[in-house]
Amino acid sequence: MVPMGPTRSRTPRGFILSLAVAALAAGGNLTPVAAQPKADRLVTGSIPANTKMPAAKPWSGESGASGHPEMTAEAIRAAADDFPRCIQSLWPQAARHGVSRASFETLTNGLKPDLRLMDLMDSQPEFTKSFWDYLDVLITDARIQKGREILEKYRPVFDRVEHAYGVDRHILAAIWGVETNYGTLAGDRPVLRSVATLACIGRRQAYFRDEFLIALEILHRRDIAPEHFVGSWAGAFGPTQFMPRAFKRFAVDFDGDGHRDTVDSIPDMLASTANMMKKNGWQAGHSWGYEVVVPATLDFSLADKARMLSMRQWEQLGVHRVNRAAFPRPDDHAFLLVPAGVQGPGFLMTHNFRVIMKYNPAEAYALAIGHLADRLRGGGAFVQDWPRYERVLSRAERLELQQLLANHGFNIGEPDGRLGGETRAAIRAFQSRTGRVPDGFASASVLDMLRGR
């Protein structure tokens, strides 16, 4: 839900263990909502206000790795100096969002930019995790067990939400589990400060201006308690990590208290998440996809998100479910995902997988959500093994791989360290030439072969 950068890194959300102190002043005409405890107001992911936090890590003071003109150290310093004026200049737009002058002043008075976000926005991890590493972290026995407990504990709420929106309760619980480990890793940076910083400093100002204005609107309307309005560095908050803009589109007041509270009300949080899945096209009663066995004879260029074939067509190509069971709806269309080539499991992804990906654009995370849902329902682990002996290539190695492919006469386009369609096609051609299964998987073994070892 947070399109942040070229790497589609998951760092903006989820596993943020940053330790900024929630310091949002809630005074004036803003009554802290959570000061009134209610039976269904459950603190799920917030840090208690009196928790002692270590000092937040400061900005490095260095230019960002993106090379964007707004990300040089000088540009960041200049924008930081201009921050109070920038925020005040947004008042007319805030007014159009229905924010009162009094709320605007209370909420922006003393607001200071969090320049550490500039480091986080431009961080480019040299090493990326493999699919199986992500799944190992996200799908653990503890997370499955806790998810089942949560489904049991909130069974009446899940019943009502499932009935109202037609979205499988296991998917909702899995989103909750994958995004924040059921609310325990929801992040602790004040959302307003984060999105205010990003709205006035750095390379994504236009994108974050709306997020900031909506964050003001949320606080003005007292939907979410100010001291619980905390989250990831990019402003995703609550157990299922809504961004302000997504909150505005999808959040619902399901418990009927007049506030859409996706942080402290489990009914609102679950119903809002279900509403988003429904509005994004979730098909009730359908699966997200199936683990499949892919024959080595397959034309692996078919493993492409843009190639939606019917289950019947996939079966004709030799792709079958791991347990040889029939596909429930042979005319449903799906694309084939083969994350680790012929040596790992394949997956046929149906329409509902695309719906999960609208929420979370990284395939590994969307697969984790689908798989965790199946496990919560009582399903088993994947049947096929991952090629754990393979190592995921570093950026430098990916560039080297592309350069070597080009040296061997294969067209890879411009070497950019990313493994797009052209690079995968070049790997397949190289594998064919050397008598390997042409699955296009960019492994360390392929790199070694290209190096002539």
Q: By C-beta, is 157 or 185 nearer to Ca ion?
A: 157
Q: By C-beta, is 256 or 378 nearer to Ca ion?
A: 256
Side chain identity, residue 139: I
Does residue 178 contact residue 217 with C-beta atoms inside 8 Å? no
Q: By C-beta, is 183 or 417 nearer to Ca ion?
A: 183
> Closest distance between Ca ion and the C-beta of residue 7, in Å?
36
Q: In sequence order, which residues have a C-beta less than 8 Å from that of residue 1 and are 6 or more positions away? A: 13, 236, 241, 242, 243, 246, 359, 360, 361
Q: By C-beta, is 259 or 354 nearer to Ca ion?
A: 259
Q: By C-beta, is 215 or 252 nearer to Ca ion?
A: 252
> Closest distance between Ca ion and the C-beta of residue 258, in Å?
7
Q: By C-beta, is 193 or 259 nearer to Ca ion?
A: 259
Q: By C-beta, is 86 or 270 nearer to Ca ion?
A: 270
In whole angstroms, what is the distance from residue 224 CA to residue 215 CA?
10
> Closest distance between Ca ion and the C-beta of residue 3, in Å?
28
> Closest distance between Ca ion and the C-beta of residue 41, in Å?
9
Q: In sequence order, which residues have a C-beta less than 8 Å from that of residue 43 and are 6 or more positions away? A: 34, 228, 264
Q: By C-beta, is 208 or 237 nearer to Ca ion?
A: 237
| Phi, psi torsion values for 91, nearest 5 degrees | -55, -50
> Which regions of 254-304 does DSSP assign to beta strands (E)?
289-293
Does residue 154 contact residue 266 with C-beta atoms inside 8 Å? yes
> Closest distance between Ca ion and the C-beta of residue 43, in Å?
15
Q: By C-beta, is 268 or 363 nearer to Ca ion?
A: 268
> Closest distance between Ca ion and the C-beta of residue 232, in Å?
23
- Packing angle of the helix pair 169-180, 363-376 (nearest 10 deg): 130
Does residue 98 contact residue 217 with C-beta atoms inside 8 Å? yes
> Closest distance between Ca ion and the C-beta of residue 257, in Å?
4
Instruction: Select the residue whose beta carbon is closest to Ca ion and give its number.
Output: 253
Does residue 299 contact residue 269 with C-beta atoms inside 8 Å? no
In whole angstroms, what is the distance from residue 351 CA to residue 62 CA?
43
> Closest distance between Ca ion and the C-beta of residue 221, in Å?
12
Q: By C-beta, is 227 or 255 nearer to Ca ion?
A: 255
Longest dimension (CA), the chain: 73
Spell 421-451 as b/e; 16+ CB within 10 A means b.
eebbbbbbbbbeeeebbbbbbbbebbbeebe
**Token duo for residue 258:** 């007049």
In whole angstroms, what is the distance from residue 429 CA to residue 418 CA?
18
**CB atoms closer than 10 angstroms to residue 9:** 16
- What is the length of the chain? 453
Task: Give the binding site for Ca ion (CB under 5 A).
Answer: 253, 255, 257, 259, 261, 265, 268
> Closest distance between Ca ion and the C-beta of residue 37, in Å?
14
In whole angstroms, what is the distance from residue 125 CA to residue 400 CA?
17
Side chain identity, residue 346: G
> Closest distance between Ca ion and the C-beta of residue 254, in Å?
6
**Token duo for residue 411:** 């067209």
